[in-house]
Structure 1
Amino acid sequence: MTSTHEILNQAPPREGVDEYAANVPLVEAVARWGRRGPDAATGDLHAIGSLVGSAAFQRDAERANTQPPVLRTHDRWGRRVDEVEYDDAYHRIMAAAVDAGAHTSAWADPGPGASVDRAAAFFLFAQVEPGHSCPVSMTHAVVPVLELAASGLRDGWMPRLLSREYEPDLGGGAERSALVGMAMTEKQGGSDVRANTTRAEPTGADGPWGREFRLTGHKWFCSAPMSDAFLVLAQAPGGLSCFFVPRVLPDGTRNVFRIQRLKDKLGNRSNASSEVEFDGTAAWLVGEEGRGVATIVQMVTRTRLDCVIGTAAGMRQSVAEAAWHVRHRSAFGALLVDQPAMAAVVADLALESEAATLTAMRLARAYDDDASGAEVAFRRLATAVSKYWVCKRGPGHAYEALECLGGNGYTEAFPLARRYREQPLLAIWEGSGNVIALDVLRVLAREPEAFEAFFDFVGVAGGGHAGFDLALAEARSVVHEVSRDAAAAASRARELTERLALVLQAALLIEHSPGAVADAFVRTRLEGGGGMLYGTVPPGADTAAILARA
């Protein structure tokens, strides 16, 4: 009998991989900036890498996205419950991420490099299943905001945030752990949160948790609505303020938190996003009344960093899948990886991935508790420009990697279709392109020391590459021109931000990556030696050396 369905020339499953060990740039970054140094053991990161690279974890990642959350507004007796039900696969992923400290380990065990180790753990989980990263990131980022709360609120909730237990169900207030979300966006406001209309009325019944208010209003986007508590912006008598809103009140009863519907999103399917209604909802003031933006920005700054880390993680998944495919599939008599056109594409994708990974990890180091004043100033600008550029590069990068797999890449049976839908979110979340670019202008006008620290940082890489030196000089020139012409500043905000981001990435690669990587990046991204699309690496680029790191 003749077989008509013999499986030939297909890549084997990419399973049983230690995703940490396989990611050379990430391993080098943790050795360089992590708390344990180049000679210390990193067994926990290898354990995470092996977990997320396992067939079981990959099946859970797929299932969490194909069996998305479901809203249950009422129980069968008609009582309002406002619960979101997730597949067990999602809960297994969340439990693993929390157990590994991907949320708050940098706060629980602080010290030089702690933020890098936490960022690496977050990176590895986000590489395979990005949706759950939303509540993980927000729980990490809420910690410095909660430090501004009344002592009773802070002392009661902080141990729960630092816990490595995962309790998926809302209980009666006796839980040992907690996750935190946020709700800022409204229908009429979007990024313009000062236009918010949700009202906060003081009750006068203040206690250990601080000043108590009642909220009334609607939020157009509430992230991770099954979290245990949320930071919410609302208009108090003294102006826009930040509030802590628990799902369960101190007496064990449910707070008024009406989930109106779940958003039907392009991607990020495993993570619920919702509209919520507040109607006399109990809330406690965090920070000063009237300074809600200044308070919640402590959270937003760190979730912006996680947008960079998450996009870099997605780029790593894209490169890893593409490199695996081309090393196992043949066409026209040769492996794809041995064909110059395909090798150039994957090498170019690897350049982008390595630049994003170094940027993310170096930024994380600047968030450690030993950060100097110069480091704090540097991260203020560098986080914004990196969030803009790295996140905007994500979707195109995912598409090009998907194309490397041909028709397989366009099917839901392979992870890159899911990744392609996922990457645009991180460019939108926590400030889309124009919001971030205008924030860079705000830094230029109000915090010039951040620009000084930034140029001091990237200037260390000068003198070794003419293309970089020219790009650095041009970036300085644009900063000078924009600072002198306020009328034209907004129209050049994106240009300025892009130049700064590319200079930062090039400086990091020149300082810390092999010469073949740094040279190819500078020639393609700064000198114009490449094209608008991936794969036009300049003549003489050492694609084999670049691919060896992928």
Structure 2
Amino acid sequence: MSAPTHTVTNQPPPLVGYDIYAADAALVEGVARHASPEALPEIRTELSELGKAAGSAQAQRWGTQANTYPPVLRTHDRYGNRIDEVDFHPSWHRLLGHAVSAGLTDAWSRPDGHLRRAAGFLVWTQAEAGHGCPVSMTHAAVPALRAEPALAAEWEPRLTSRVYDEELLAPGVKPGALFGMGMTEKQGGSDVRANTTRAEPLAADGEYLLTGHKWFCSAPMSDGFLVLAQASPGRGKGGLTCFLLPRVLPDGTRNVFLIQRLKDKLGNRSNASAEVEFCGTWARRVGEEGRGVPTIIEMVAATRLDCATGSAAVMRQAVAQAIHHAAHRSAFGGPLIDQPLMLNVLADLALESEAATTTVLRLAASYDAATDAERQFRRIAVPLAKYWVTKRTAALTAEALECLGGNGYVEESGMPRLFRESPLNSIWEGSGNVQALDVLRALQRDPQAFDAFLREIGLSRGADHRLDAAVKSLLTELADLTSLEARARRLVERMALILQGSLLVRFAPPAVSDAFCASRLGGDWGVSFGTLPHSLDLGAIVERARPTA
């Protein structure tokens, strides 16, 4: 019973029971823009079903429980036998099972597969982001495995399956499988060429025994892993090589996979990340000896796009919560959403979110196009998006949390979980400096990639004078080759903003593109969100981004 003074008023209702897909105009329009007309009705139906599931009270409860009760490592059974298993709350398995059954590990077997999968990933991970890690790596392992056709024929049907089984079983027994990845080691981090894990060849061609460690092994409960190790010179030329390491051997016995501990992370707490040791661990070579980085980079490129897509999902959910709160909360004599300063903040957040969504959908559609021109465009655009979208997520989420005031700082609001998640993708799969230097390498070594980038942004030439001026300034800056590495972040930031501006000028409503170009490219913007020029149509921007339950 409540005390007489405890009357609850002026509190927003929960944002629940709504279609996350249908409530996101930028997403709906982006899917329609890039999908083939014959596949669009089916894609809309799939995404709406997924959107309703993600926006349900049940899925939100699963997300809360999966993070409240994080995974637990069990190194031994009761008799002292080494088992190296990770226990998860049932809600984790429900989230992961729903993602697999919705086809989020398969972009490879259907028309518009990458577009529909990216859109689905953006929708479903708004319910909970942590389980997106194994979903992403399983999807991304396919192009890397294709470097070894026999392995691809064996494993690809399992990775693209819509059947989820949490048990550790022999690969031939399970109808579906999940993949993890182990690249970084404690002495090297992003410098994987400094890896010390050794791979000794066995008599059978393509089989090796691995000895060493991995400082970060993502999703250690998975059925298989792509890892890097130094192959000893012998039958091959040796050097850093990619390997497929199964968790359970074909005869049903466990491979040697010693989980030393789970990482105690800032966020992403539902998902297990581990330190693992290999000691005579059986693995199969993927690709040629000494070609480990070029082989696994196919997986890394796909997961980098997922980092940007996952960050766009965090952004969208943070903006949706902030606008929903402001629409239902009154202060200073009226709804918060009608207060000019709050309206400015919300509009600024909405711009950032729409730019991120529009960018990742364009890149997903680029994979579906499967042309040389699109591949060259991705060579620059993927690290650009990975750098900028993931970098902006933490600032946006902090501002969105502040829109809820003290309520946003309380765990029950869900905003602290989003905030803890927000820096993750800027670190995973290569931090900001790694992405900036990757763009620099592409500019210096692959002129066709830069030409493809220029062709893309050139599609909006003449549509906005601020965008045209920004392109001209970029070309002037690129003409100066002195201290290029020291200027890499500045350069990549400018390129990312120009790409986003170009896409919004072409595809977004005028209110959105005008505000983006005025603030991000025209210089009429402060150092924090909520400093848009007051003369813009801020109300239209916010209304477009407003979720409707």
Task: Please report the TM-score for the alignment, with normalisation by the length of structure 1.
Answer: 0.96
Q: Which residues in structure 2 correspond to 1:143-158 (within 5 Å)?
A: 143-151=142-150, 153-158=151-156
Residue 512 (str. 1) matches residue 498 (str. 2): no
Aligned to 2:479: 480
- Shift >3 Å, 4+ stretches: 35-39
Measure how far apart 1:37 and its partner are: 6.2
Measure how far apart 1:423 and its partner are: 1.1
Measure how far apart 1:2 and its partner are: 7.0
1:371-391 Cα deviation digits (max 9, x unpaired)? 221111001100011110111
Aligned to 1:253: 253
1:485-527 Cα deviation digits (max 9, x unpaired)? 3xx1110111110010000000000000000000000011111
Candidates 83, 86, 102, aligned match of 2:85: 83
**Native 8 Å contact 1:30 1:37 kept in 2:** no
Aligned to 1:270: 270
Aligned to 2:470: 471
Measure how far apart 1:438 and its partner are: 0.6
Q: Which residues in structure 2 correspond to 1:239-388 (within 5 Å)?
A: 239-368=239-368, 370-388=369-387
Separation of aligned partners in 2, 1:108 and 1:73: 38
Separation of aligned partners in 1, 2:455 and 2:170: 52
Structure 1 residues 130, 176: CA separation in 2 closer, same or farther (over 3 Å shift)? same
Aligned to 1:462: 461
Candidates 208, 213, 220, aligned match of 1:213: 208
Aligned to 2:115: 116
Task: Please report the TM-score for the alignment, with normalisation by the length of structure 2.
Answer: 0.96
Structure 1 residues 236, 247: CA separation in 2 closer, same or farther (over 3 Å shift)? same
Aligned to 1:170: 168
Candidates 146, 154, 159, aligned match of 2:157: 159
Separation of aligned partners in 2, 1:150 and 1:39: 32
Separation of aligned partners in 2, 1:77 and 1:2: 54
Separation of aligned partners in 1, 2:303 and 2:531: 34
SS at match of 1:128: coil
Counterpart residue identity of residue 240, structure 1? L
**Native 8 Å contact 1:150 1:286 kept in 2:** no
Give the gaps of 5 or more residues in structure 1. Answer: none
Structure 1 residues 293, 38: CA separation in 2 closer, same or farther (over 3 Å shift)? closer
Measure how far apart 1:34 and its partner are: 2.1
Structure 1 residues 43, 280: CA separation in 2 closer, same or farther (over 3 Å shift)? same
Measure how far apart 1:116 and its partner are: 0.7
Aligned-residue RMSD, C-alpha:
1.2
Separation of aligned partners in 2, 1:150 and 1:205: 17
Separation of aligned partners in 2, 1:320 and 1:500: 27
Measure how far apart 1:39 and its partner are: 6.2
**Native 8 Å contact 1:68 1:270 kept in 2:** yes
Aligned to 2:28: 27
Candidates 30, 52, 59, aligned match of 2:61: 59
Measure how far apart 1:403 and its partner are: 0.2
Separation of aligned partners in 2, 1:458 and 1:25: 19
Measure how far apart 1:38 and its partner are: 9.2
Aligned to 1:101: 103
Measure how far apart 1:40 and its partner are: 2.6
Separation of aligned partners in 1, 2:510 and 2:253: 61
Q: Indicate the percent of aligned positions where both proteins have the same amino acid.
A: 57
Structure 1 residues 376, 367: CA separation in 2 closer, same or farther (over 3 Å shift)? same
SS at match of 1:316: helix
Separation of aligned partners in 2, 1:255 and 1:320: 45
Measure how far apart 1:150 and its partner are: 4.8
1:430-453 Cα deviation digits (max 9, x unpaired)? 110111111111101111110010
1:113-144 Cα deviation digits (max 9, x unpaired)? 32111101111111221100000000110001
Measure how far apart 1:476 and its partner are: 1.5
Aligned to 1:499: 494
Candidates 233, 241, 247, aligned match of 2:228: 233
**Native 8 Å contact 1:115 1:365 kept in 2:** yes
Separation of aligned partners in 2, 1:92 and 1:514: 38
Deviates more, 1:291-300 or 1:124-133: 124-133
Separation of aligned partners in 1, 2:475 and 2:36: 33
Separation of aligned partners in 2, 1:150 and 1:367: 20
**Native 8 Å contact 1:305 1:383 kept in 2:** yes
**Native 8 Å contact 2:210 2:229 kept in 1:** yes
**Native 8 Å contact 1:48 1:100 kept in 2:** yes
SS at match of 1:3: coil
Q: Which residues in structure 2 correspond to 1:510-549 (within 5 Å)?
A: 510-549=505-544
SS at match of 1:536: coil
SS at match of 1:490: coil
Measure how far apart 1:460 and its partner are: 1.1
Measure how far apart 1:480 and its partner are: 2.1
SS at match of 1:523: helix
Separation of aligned partners in 2, 1:299 and 1:35: 26
**Native 8 Å contact 1:389 1:498 kept in 2:** yes
Measure how far apart 1:540 and its partner are: 1.1
Separation of aligned partners in 2, 1:262 and 1:184: 16
Structure 1 residues 38, 285: CA separation in 2 closer, same or farther (over 3 Å shift)? closer
**Native 8 Å contact 1:35 1:114 kept in 2:** no
Measure how far apart 1:3 and its partner are: 1.4
SS at match of 2:256: coil
Separation of aligned partners in 1, 2:423 and 2:430: 12
SS at match of 1:264: coil
SS at match of 1:127: coil
Separation of aligned partners in 2, 1:477 and 1:40: 45
Separation of aligned partners in 1, 2:295 and 2:278: 21
SS at match of 1:259: strand
Measure how far apart 1:148 and its partner are: 1.4
Separation of aligned partners in 2, 1:36 and 1:536: 40
Structure 1 residues 461, 59: CA separation in 2 closer, same or farther (over 3 Å shift)? same
Separation of aligned partners in 1, 2:532 and 2:88: 44
SS at match of 1:157: helix
**Native 8 Å contact 1:73 1:80 kept in 2:** yes
SS at match of 2:108: helix
Counterpart residue identity of residue 29, structure 1? G
Deviates more, 1:403-412 or 1:471-480: 471-480
Separation of aligned partners in 2, 1:2 and 1:501: 55
Separation of aligned partners in 2, 1:171 and 1:216: 23
Separation of aligned partners in 1, 2:200 and 2:284: 11
Structure 1 residues 6, 440: CA separation in 2 closer, same or farther (over 3 Å shift)? same
1:375-432 Cα deviation digits (max 9, x unpaired)? 1100110001111011100000000000000011111101111011101010000110
**Native 8 Å contact 1:35 1:117 kept in 2:** no
Aligned to 2:235: none
**Native 8 Å contact 2:142 2:152 kept in 1:** no
Separation of aligned partners in 2, 1:2 and 1:122: 45
Measure how far apart 1:172 and its partner are: 3.4
